[in-house]
Amino acid sequence: WTKTLPTHFVIFGVLLAASLGIGLYHALSGGRQRTTQEFLMADRSMKCLPVSLSLIASFQSAVAIIGVPAEIYTHGTQYWFIGCAYILGLLIPAHVFIPILYRLRLSSAYQYLELRFSKPVRICGTLTFIFQMVIYMGVCVYTPAFALNAVTGFELWGTVLATGLVCTLYTTIGGLKAVIWTDVFQTLVMFAGQLAVIVVGVQKTGGVSEVCSEVSSVFSLFGFSLNPDPTERHTFWTLGVGGVFLMLSLYGVNQAQVQRYLSARTEKDAVRSCYMVFPSLQLALALSCVMGLVMFACYCGEDHSSKLGTASRDAMVISFVMDMLQGLPGLPGLFIACLFSAALSTISSAFNSLATVTMEDLIKPHFPAMTEARATLLSKALAMSYGLLCLAMAYLTHLMGDSVLQVALKIFGMVGGPILGLFCLGIFFPWANSTGALAGLGAGLAVAFWVGIGSIVTRSSGTKSLLPACGVVLLSDNTTTAIQTALGNVTLSRPSGLKRFYSLSYMWYSAFNCSTVILIGLIISFLTGPMKAEDVTPGTVYPLLGKLLCFLPERHKKKLCGVTPQLSAQQRQPPHHKESNGLGLSQEDGQSQEETDAFLPRFLECETAV
């Protein structure tokens, strides 16, 4: 590999240069990034194709490209069932979250929390989000550099620095437009790299039929568990149901995604781009799962741990890829570009969304008189500081050591879950008040860290590989004994008491923490006096109960639904928004006006009897 190292460097360099070029183009074209509207919101002028490709890129990093094949290789194809969660996980954002957030004409998702609850809730939500993204960013920038270093000897910290600095630079000069357009380019490179590995891998293993027969001879590879036990790491339920909450926390309320929905020209474009995420995300999942299967077919029976020393399964994926692509001109470089594209597109989204929330939620409210030029300069400084902070976080990740996919999914569940709960409390439960929201968030985070840290300390996060080492499986005589031993171990070491609580599958973290926030939030709200109808800002609630109970007569419905916006309240202006009307409805073009009129009765449904 050392011989081809210069080519790797060239292709890696070309990727960084192209990304910088896109950044430079957007720094010098359009409004030249002189307003926060352009720098943070892309002038709200994006079409749905770039937005949708950018939406996929945000949470598809090198972690998924390396982590998913490693997961398939060690635990079988069960993880693929997370694809089922994409259906509801994208339909609900498209039809509940996007309409509400888009019509309020927000800049930051957390502005919603102030409109619905109060300023303290908004600040707490923002701080939680910053915490989540800063840790996640570290994992993202560290993973590709680490994996590459483990196998090719690419300088670890040099790579981390190059990725972090280039990304900081183009994010700082080009704003959200540059972030979205680099995402488009980087997503295509990512797909191309994965596809190349699969095609070459299948060829080298001896064709599609050879791969299929190799893989299908190992029965336990295609595990399909319907076990309802919530401590089992991956089952159909944890992935298909728990996964919906994970998807909601990422695609429904995460600022990185909400910012993209808000940057779309019209609400229709935003909804359509969310729909278009579905096939592309399925493709991304399928590519990485198939890569894991090809790797299994190719490597089974061989022991590669000695070759890699103590390096993890994650590094093994890179080793496999380099084995496959070795000697083919340009292809190892293409895969390296694929890894770093995936990482760059994620951390650039993180920098820009972090700069946005810090500016819009933490700084602007305190300096309402700040000039636009000042605010833009400050936003750029913020994007840059987060870039540098990211490098520090990479070092922290270096000190941890777990499967990177698990680390990322745990962060999403532990910190993203409570944020999702906060938004659900506001959107679906009109009775919830500000005190309840704060108490709910506090309780949700406390429980999340209690379980999360508990699982790390007791090491009971259920990481046992149910699939015996593949070398053992292939010796068909031993297969049954091996599986029996594995199953036996599982039943023997079934945890009890608090330990059982700690061993909750991390795929349930989002759902569990979200529910805690809602439950505690509602209890405290009812104890302190539920929100009154006239106090709820119009357009901030979705009358779920009213819609579910549509068969009931209007007056009963009214009672059950609780609060709906009163007509007199509709004339009120939401704070900080000169450009929006009282309902927060966009009046940009005729078409969207028609749509919003059609939507109106849905929000006010419970009120028709009044």
Positions in the binding site for ligand PAU (CB under 6 A): 59-61, 63-64, 82, 140, 250, 281, 285, 346, 405, 408
Of the candidate spans 119-127, 146-154, 336-344, 416-424, the one that interacts with Na ion by CB under 5 A turns out to be 336-344
Supply 250's token pair.
């990422």
**Distance from C-alpha of 264 to C-alpha of 280, rounded to nearest angstrom:** 19
Instruction: Choose the one of ligand PAU, Na ion, none that binds residue 427, judging by a C-beta under 5 to 8 angstroms depending on kind.
Output: none
| Shortest spacing between CB 60 and Na ion, in angstroms | 5
Chosen from Na ion, ligand PAU, none, partner binding at 508 (C-beta under 5 to 8 Å by type)? none
217 phi and psi angles, rounded to 5 deg = -75, -15
Secondary structure of the chain: what % helix, strand, coil (to 5)?
Answer: 75, 0, 25
We find the least distance from the C-beta atom of residue 161 to ligand PAU, in angstroms, to be 20
Binding mask 62-81 for Na ion (x = CB under 5 A): --------------------
Counting contacts by CB under 5 A, is residue 143 touching Na ion?
no
Burial grade of 497 (CB within 10 A; 0-12, 13-18, 19 or more): exposed
Candidate residues 57, 150, 173, 285; the one interacting with Na ion per rule CB under 5 A: 57
* Residue whose CB is less far from ligand PAU, 215 or 405: 405
DSSP result, 395-426: HHHHH--S-HHHHHHHHIIIIIHHHHHHHHHH
Q: Helices 313-325 and 331-357 sit at what angle, rounded to 10 degrees?
A: 140
Part of the chain binding Na ion (CB under 5 A), chosen from 17-25, 118-126, 343-351, 354-362: 343-351
Shortest approach of ligand PAU to residue 203 CB, angstroms?
27
Q: Which of 15, 176, 342, 425 binds Na ion (CB under 5 A)?
A: 342
Q: Which stretch binds Na ion (CB under 5 A): 339-347, 421-429, 490-498, 565-573?
A: 339-347
Which one, 243 or 584, has the nearer CB to ligand PAU?
243
In this structure, are residues 542 and 96 in contact, taking their beta carbons and an 8 Å threshold? yes
496 vs 554: CA distance, rounded Å: 49
Which amino acid is residue 315, in one-letter code?
A: A
Q: Could you tell me the two tokens for 156?
A: 């670890």
Report the site for Na ion in 344-373 (rule: CB under 5 A): 345-346
Answer with the entry of Na ion, ligand PAU, none that 338 interacts with (C-beta below 5 to 8 A by kind).
Answer: none
Q: Give the type of residue at 151.
A: V
Number of residues that bind Na ion (CB under 5 A): 6
HEC secondary structure over 93-126: HHHHHHHHHHHCCCCCCCHHHHHHCCHHHHHHHH
Strands (E), 187-274: none
Work out how close the CB of 345 gets to Na ion at its nearest, in angstroms, rounded to a whole number: 4
Q: In the complex with ligand PAU, which residue's Cβ is closer, 408 or 524? A: 408
Q: Smallest distance from the beta carbon of 458 to ligand PAU, in angstroms?
A: 24
Question: How many CA within 13 A on the CB side of residue 72?
Answer: 25
Task: Look up residue 464 and give its two tokens.
Answer: 């046992």
d(Cα 369, Cα 162) in Å, to the nearest integer? 38
Q: Which of 353, 348, 7, 408 is nearest to 185 (CA)?
A: 348
Phi and psi at residue 473, to the nearest 5°: -60, -40
- Nearest CB to ligand PAU, comparing residues 80 and 542: 80
Q: Which does 420 bind (CB under 5 to 8 A by kind): ligand PAU, Na ion, none?
A: none
Q: Roughly what angle, to the nearest 10 degrees, separates helices 267-299 and 313-325?
A: 80
Q: Closest CB to ligand PAU among 390 and 563? A: 390
- Please say which residue, 434 or 510, places its beta carbon nearer to ligand PAU: 510
Instruction: Tell me how far the alpha carbon of residue 388 is from its chain's centroid.
Output: 22
Q: Specify the residue, 72 or 82, whose C-beta has the smaller distance to ligand PAU.
A: 82
Which one, 391 or 470, has the nearer CB to Na ion?
391
Q: Which does 57 bind (CB under 5 to 8 A by kind): ligand PAU, Na ion, none?
A: Na ion
Instruction: CB nearer to Na ion: give 31 or 279.
Output: 279
DSSP 30: T
Q: How far is the CB of 348 from ligand PAU (least distance, A)?
A: 13
Q: Which is nearer to Na ion, 167 or 414 (CB)?
A: 167
Tokens standing for residue 452: 């999360």
Q: Which of residues 36, 54, 61, 273 is near Na ion by CB under 5 A?
A: 61
Phi, psi for residue 264 in degrees, rounded to 5: -70, 150
Closest CB to Na ion among residues 60, 77? 60
x-or-dash pattern for Na ion, window 559-598, by CB under 5 A? ----------------------------------------
Q: Radius of gyration (Cα) for the chain, nearest Å?
A: 25
Q: How far is the CB of 48 from Na ion (least distance, A)?
A: 19
Q: Interface residues with Na ion (CB under 5 A)?
A: 57, 60-61, 342, 345-346
